[in-house]
Structure 1
Amino acid sequence: MELMEKIETTELMEHVKSAVKIFKLLISNGELNKREYAFLYSEYLETEVQEVLSIFEEEFECKILNFEDTLYLVPNISSQIIGIQPGELRRYFGSSATNKDVYLGYYIMMFIFYQFYSGKNKDPKKTDFIQINHLIDQLDERFERLRKMSREEIEHLEEVYSVNLASCIDIWMNLLVDHESRRKTKVKIIESVVKILEENNLAYIVENQIRTTKKLDILMRQYYLNAERVAQINEAFERGDL
C-alpha cells in the first residue's frame, strides 16, 4: 500500500513539474510549439498536466490555448496579473508620457484590431495590411466627429465603453502627422502602438504597412472575437459610437 502511494505521489510530482515548466516557458515566450518543444508539448497533452495547468489559469487570470500544435498563453480580458497595465506601457510613448497617452494607444490598438478583424464573412479577417497614412485619415475622421459631440454625450460614451475618449480626442487632434524634430506625432504614436504588438509577436510594420502575425490571427479568430468586451467595442466602432 505504501509503495503504491509513493508511486502515485511520484507521478503527481512529475506532472506538477511538467506543468510548471510549461507555464514558465509560456510566461517567458507567450507560446510553446511542438516543433521546438516536442517533449513539453507531449506532456501538455497528458490529462493530469492539464489539470495542474487549469489551477494556474485560474490563479493567474489567464487561458492556455492549443491551436495548430502550438500553445498560447493569453490573459483574461480583465486580468490584473498577466495583462499589461498602463504604467508599464508609458515607456513606449516617451519619457514624458502620461496615462492619457497610454489610453490613446489603447484606442488606436482597438481600432487596428477592428480594421483587421471586423469582417462579416466566415473569416473575420478582412485585410492583410493597413497603410499607416490611411489609418491616420480614418482616425482623423473619427476623432473630428467625436469632437463635435457635447460633453454630456462624450461622458455617456466613456461610461458605457470604459474608454477615456475626451483625452484621446484632445491629444490626437493636437498632434502633427509627422515631424523630424517632434517626439510625439500621429505617426510616432501609431509606431509605438505597433511596437507593443511586435514585442508580443502580434503585429509589425513593413514599408509603412501594419501587418499581423499568425499568432494574432489565431488568437483573434479562435478566442478574443468571442469575448463580450471585444464584441462590444467592435460593435461600437461599427455604429460610430467610438
Structure 2
Amino acid sequence: MTFEEDILIAAYRLHQSLMTKGELHKRKDPELYRLYSDPEIREVLHRVFLPVDQAIIVKVEEKLYFVPEVHNDAYSFTNEELRKEVKLATNKEVYLTQFIWMNVISEFYGEQFLLTGETRSFIKVDEILNKVKDLMGKFKKLPEEDRMDLAVQYELDIPGMLDVWDNLHEVTDKVKDLSKSDKKDYGFILKGLRFLENENLIVVKEQEEIVMTEKMKSIVGQYYHQETRINEIKKLLNDIGERERREIYA
C-alpha cells in the first residue's frame, strides 16, 4: 500500500515527537495529538514505524505514550541508568528492585484477575514485603543447583538478590520516616516503588497502599496475555514453590 506524502510527513512528525518525548498530552500538544485520530496516519505508524522501533503507542484518556516492547533493549533502561534513577549502589540492588516490581504486577494480576478479569484495586506494601521475604526464604532453602537453574532460566541474579536482602534490616516502630530508611526492607521497597511513581505507573498512598494508574493498566494490559516475559512472572513464582515442595518430599 502506498501513502500520500503529506500523510507520511505527518506520521513522521508524530512518531519523532513521541519517540523523543515518550508521551504527548492533548492539552500541551493539541495539533500533534489530533494527528493520531487520522486512520491513515495511525496505519503508517503501526505498519511502518512501530515495527521497526519494536514499540507500541498506548492511549490513556487524553495522553499518548510511546512504550517499548518488553524485549526492546534500545529504549529500555540500562542497569547504569536504573542505578542513577532509583539511587541504587550496585547491579545486585537493581535486580532485587526489578524482582519487587515483578511481584507488584503479580499481585495486581493474581487470582482475582484470572477469575473475574478485574485487577485488584490496591495492594498493601506489607503484602509485597511479606511476599518477597517469603520468596527469599524459599530461594535459600533450594539446593544451589536449583537456584542456578532458576537464575539462568529467568535471567535473575538470585545470589545477588539474596545478598542484598540479607543485609537489609527489618523496620521497627522507632523508624519515623520509612521513605528515608532504605537500608531497611520496607524502606528499600518504597525506594523501588518511588521510581514507578515517578514514571506515573502507580500511586503509593501514605507509604502503605499501592494503586495502579490508568497508564500502568493500559501498558500491562497490552502485554499480559500475549507477552512471554510477563507470563513468565507467574511461572517463576510457581516454579519456586514447586521446587521447594520437591525438596520437602525428596
Residue pair 1:124, 1:221 contacting (<8 A) in 2 also: no
The size of the alignment, in residue pairs, is: 231
Equivalents in 2 of 1:124, 1:193: separation in Å? Answer: 25
Give the direction of change, closer, same or farther, for the CA distance of 1:183–1:222 in structure 2 (3 Å limit): closer
Residue pair 2:100, 2:128 contacting (<8 A) in 1 also: no
**Are 1:117 and 2:109 matched, yes or no?**
yes
2:41 corresponds in structure 1 to 49
Identity %: 26
Instruction: Specify the SS of the correspondent of 1:195.
Output: helix
Residue pair 1:140, 1:173 contacting (<8 A) in 2 also: no
2:149 corresponds in structure 1 to 156
2:186 corresponds in structure 1 to 187
Equivalents in 1 of 2:21, 2:170: separation in Å? Answer: 34
Instruction: Name the TM-score, length of structure 1 as normaliser.
Output: 0.82
Amino acid at match of 1:151: E
Instruction: Specify the SS of the correspondent of 1:128.
Output: coil
Equivalents in 2 of 1:63, 1:170: separation in Å? Answer: 36
Structure 2's unaligned 5+ residue stretches are: 244-250
2:100 corresponds in structure 1 to 108
Equivalents in 2 of 1:32, 1:114: separation in Å? Answer: 29
Residue pair 1:65, 1:72 contacting (<8 A) in 2 also: yes
After superposing the two structures, state which structure 1 stretch, 174-183 or 129-138, moved more: 174-183
Instruction: Give the deviation of 1:174 after TM superposition.
Output: 2.2
2:90 corresponds in structure 1 to 98
Residue pair 2:11, 2:45 contacting (<8 A) in 1 also: yes
Instruction: Specify the SS of the correspondent of 2:64.
Output: strand
Instruction: Name the TM-score, length of structure 2 as normaliser.
Output: 0.79
Amino acid at match of 2:108: F
1:85 corresponds in structure 2 to 78
Equivalents in 2 of 1:193, 1:157: separation in Å? Answer: 23
CA RMSD of aligned residues (A): 2.8
Give the direction of change, closer, same or farther, for the CA distance of 1:86–1:217 in structure 2 (3 Å limit): same
Instruction: Give the deviation of 1:62 after TM superposition.
Output: 1.2
Render the CA deviation track for 1:112-171: whole Å, top value 9, x for unaligned.
Answer: 11011122124151x222222232122111111111111111000111111111211221
Give the direction of change, closer, same or farther, for the CA distance of 1:92–1:177 in structure 2 (3 Å limit): farther
